[in-house]
A and B are shown apart, each in its own frame.
Chain A
């Protein structure tokens, strides 16, 4: 871990380091179906989605498909953000795996900043080598959390609109945790707060 980089007083441009731009979610139909897992439920919910969620990492973007990636990443996203709110952990790693993605992000918290180191094995576009060459960034924790808020809102809103049920109580609990996380994050990234920019 490049601690010299992390602990410098340099002011970082947050969107240059990391941002998430969710895609447009196509209309979700209320189907009231029961699913055993969060992954299969969201594969169904996002089945008509065409736009991608784009994550930009040190100005190198990669895309996540709503059909093939996001449903499988929701448990890892929830776990990571939950640790930020409900744990005294200062260092942890999360593995993200889906059809087009295989990567591990290691997190460290120092004061109000979060330090993230990515180890990318596979991303859509196969440009993981490029991202691995700029594998780390630091950000203010609140700014980091705000980047996730619109995507979380999309996930929760789509789930509610679908009126699906999760028969697996552990997966239902993940949704409940995601609702809590969303409530804790005070606002979206600045570019989605049109009155404050």
Chain B
């Protein structure tokens, strides 16, 4: 009998068609179950995205340390201070040290960040506060386009346009005027130098600083700016007295982020930096950076030890990059921001 006639479940004594309220509730319960499951599925799926980047970052740390372990075991921390880089398939003849490249990385990045801060913050002020809207709508995207130029193209331009320009037109006058500082030393016959790398990096960093600071300046409350102008301040006094102090930490953070971009650039720097393992205060001499060493030597490495030394350079670069980015984060959201507007 049971197989011929299944009694209806207790909950639907009346036919659903005859009891719309009950039918609705049943449908809603059923849908809710689906929704609950879908909610959970979406949450786990989205969590998957987080897990992927977590694993990627852990993997990068592990891989770089693992790759560097051979060189680290052989040279230890002294690697950082050793200034000899002599690749050789024969281990007893080979010697690897990172100092010239750490020096080159820091010098090129610091010079480019100084130039980029001057130019980038000015452009940020121009685009954010000073230019008419129509002008900044045109100039802003053009400046950002500068950041879109691929680094290999910039390297190509660097070799054939920037380096000759530097050695012909820039080095002699700079040496004549600022030669006493020692930074702008004897001009060199070839333009490939730390200075050339700094200028190429500046082209890459300026758009970053300009875009970040422009957005920053737009966040300064209009009342503050209007207040300063109502007191008779000129544009410059308004900016120096109100805009720059309120955005100081953000400006510094933008500079630090630009620094982070500059230390990591490999391809464009490889093309123009000169590629010598020298440490010289003279910016016009050739040098090398961590990133550009890796780019130029990894493929033609002659031994596992050399590859490991290159991974060691990558590890140093990675540590720099982490410190720089965490610092920028800390500055940007730092407690100094609060209370300064009082």
Q: Do A and B bind each other?
A: no
Chain B contact residues, CB within 8 Å of chain A: none
Chain A contact residues, CB within 8 Å of chain B: none
